[in-house]
Amino acid sequence: MNSFLFQPVDKFVKLSKFNHGLIKKCCSGHRVVDLLLHLPISLCRRSGNLEKISEKDKLTVALKIIDHAIPRHSSSPYRIVGQTTAGELITILYFNYNARFIQKALPIGGSFTVSGNVQANADGIQIIHPDVIAPPTAIKYYLGTEPVYPLVAKLSNRVLVYAVDALLRILPPISDWIPKKLIEKYKLMTFAEVLRTVHKPKTWEDLSEVAPARRRLAVDELLANQIRLRQIKLRLSSLKAPIFKSTGVIGAKLKLPFELTIDQLKCLEDIKRDLESGKPMNRLIQGDVGSGKTVVAFLSMLIALENEAQSVLLAPTEILALQHFQAINKFFENLELNIDLMLGGNRRTRQQQIEKLKNGETQILIGTHAILENNVEFKNLGLIIIDEQHKFGVLQRLSLIGKGRFPHVAAMSATPIPRTLLLGCYGDLDVSTIRTKPVGRKPIETIVLNASKINDLIPRLSETNSQIYWVCPVIDESETLIDINTRCEYLRDAFSSENVRVLHGKMKPAEKDSIISQFKEGAFKLLVSTTVIEVGVDIPSANIIVIEHAERYGLAQLHQLRGRVGRGQESSYCVLLYHYPISKIGKQRLQLLRDVSDGFLLSEEDLRLRGAGDILGKEQSGFSALRFSDFAANGELIQMAKEIAEFIDVNAEEITCLCDIFGRINFTNVCN
């Protein structure tokens, strides 16, 4: 009877309204299932054996109170002397006490079961601030191992233990959403067994992620994600989207100055097949830095144009949007297309841009978040390209999709996504991967250098003819990090003021565009910047990048920054400048980046070292933090959940229950 799980706790557990309020706050919900999935984080062992008691245990004994020693000074503890049935004397200590409360709770002559932290010294056995005061006959209930839960202020562990025990005593049969044959195949506990087991840990191993009960909960959570992703995919497959056939009418006029790689051609074929299917394309194009994803996106737009549909490319930064705009105009310069750029800063021309979109005059729109505004409308939006898709949240993507009638969507990621994340987070997407790089690209030599040797580095940089990026972690002055202004002042002394410029996110868009354009034209040698240049900036004449405080960045971000160079025919260099103190993991990251150039391998290592949260980004796709599983550590369980999902009816009542309990993704509006 799974409906029991969704009943309010106060329907079955007698507690004060105040304590029920605390439980709701502590468990992030008032339902039975919210409390039963609030798991213990440690153990408390209550022992009644005076001879074998350890300081980690809580001593639980039946005592007769024989004396109270009221302290003369408030700084001294209140002492109560009790005697066991065997005649041993035990002292109970209270600090920060209320004497009247203590005298009423433990009067002289009374017999009680008391339990609390124990201390043995020259004065004998002492119990400090007992957390149990009960009748002497209740001692059997307080011996053994007790779970310890994460709590909110003013909620006691005993209240939570009592509430959980009360629910488990009346827990009815629970129907399982995983078929019995699959439970047996994967050697899983049933969900009912989990609820009865997970709150009764006997050892510290029972609290670990690999304990059978915890393992089953991790599978359930990952299964809920897989079910949600399958539901999206099934819903999308039932929708009708415009059929775009590649006629070649416009494409025939395009003369590429280079040959597409095998992976680019394969990716383009995947997209053509999607566009002709009559179902909305929902594809992820992932590839290493500089692998040529953008070219594939541009060629896909031609197919939409051949079918009289508009295309839009959404970029996360104005610098990247401007660069795409310049690149696509150069790419399609002999096709006489109407291509427009929409940025947050160009509001003077906004109304005119909107009118051109609405009447279909604009065929391709490149832009940033400005495109997502409600008043931006298209006449016939057929294809959406989202660059650096992990920089955008679910609602932002839905906002753009809502501007067309089931438009085709292709998301691009220059950060290769580890396989476990593809399975766990992107199961609703079809994936095309571009591994090969354009012919002629030379490998980037990566050097790890202590910041104390910067004076040796500067002369070598000043002698080179290459342009240079110098990346700093912060804009403003910092006690622990080298900021842009401090480093810029030092570099201007070494390179001369006219050869050094600054770029960061606080600058006005027009100013940033001007600096990038000047750097591209070779007007100065060294650009000191924050990570605003991390994605997309393509300047072939810049062949050296120095990354200050490299120990502070993740592998994926370092690899992205390194990808700003190596875009021309000259040899390229990436200098990872690290400062002390540097952690063991920080050293590992820098050594890996020095030795490995494969972005796919680096992404797997980044996931292992940093976890999924940092890889996905704060905005990523609506996934909140997983409670029982980890995308980084549970690759095997993700695969298991994916296999189980294939044998399950996604519309079954049990599956609705599963998703209500464990579903951490809100996809309500994805396909509406």
Q: Which pLDDT tens digit goes with each residue over 283-295? A: 989 988 878 899 9
CB 576 within 8 A of CB 547: yes
Q: Could you give the percent of the chain with pLDDT greater than 70?
A: 93
**Average pLDDT of the residues of the chain:** 86
Mean pLDDT of 624-635: 70
* Residue 359 CB-half CA count within 13 A: 7
CB 78 within 8 A of CB 105: no
* Residue 196 CB-half CA count within 13 A: 11
Mean pLDDT of 585-608: 85
What separation, in Å, do the N-terminal and C-terminal C-alpha atoms of the chain show?
Answer: 31
Is the model's pLDDT at 422 over the cut of 80? Answer: no
For residue 449, give the 3-state DSSP assignment. strand
CATH 2.40.50.140 applies to domain 42-148: yes
Structure tokens at 513: 């565009």
Mean pLDDT of 624-634: 70
pLDDT at 508: 84
pLDDT at 304: 94
pLDDT at 670: 38
DSSP 30-58: SBHHHHHTS---EEEEEE--TTT--TTSE
Is the model's pLDDT at 618 over the cut of 80? Answer: no
Question: What's the Cα-to-Cα distance from 632 to each of 135, 203, 418, 600, rounded to whole Å?
Answer: 49, 26, 9, 15
CA–CA dist 533, 530 (Å, integer): 7
- Tell me the pTM: 0.73
Identify the CATH number of the domain defined by range 281-434. 3.40.50.300
pLDDT at 533: 84
CB 69 within 8 A of CB 105: no
Cα radius of gyration rounded to whole Å, the chain: 32
For residue 269, give the 3-state DSSP assignment. helix
Mean pLDDT of 625-647: 80
Structure tokens at 139: 């001692």
CB 341 within 8 A of CB 322: yes
Domain boundaries, the chain: 42-148, 281-434, 444-596
Instruction: Give the contacts of 317 (CB within 8 A, at least 6 positions apart).
Output: 368, 532, 535, 536
Mean pLDDT of 512-518: 88
CA 131 to chain centre: 39
CATH 3.40.50.300 applies to domain 444-596: yes
Least confident of 237-241, 351-355, 533-537: 533-537
Q: Which pLDDT tens digit goes with each residue over 141-184? A: 888 888 999 999 889 898 999 999 999 999 999 989 999 999 99
Is the model's pLDDT at 424 over the cut of 80? Answer: no
281-434 and 444-596 agree in CATH topology: yes
Mean pLDDT of 508-522: 87
Mean pLDDT of 70-84: 89
The top-scoring range by mean pLDDT among 129-138, 304-313, 381-390 is: 304-313
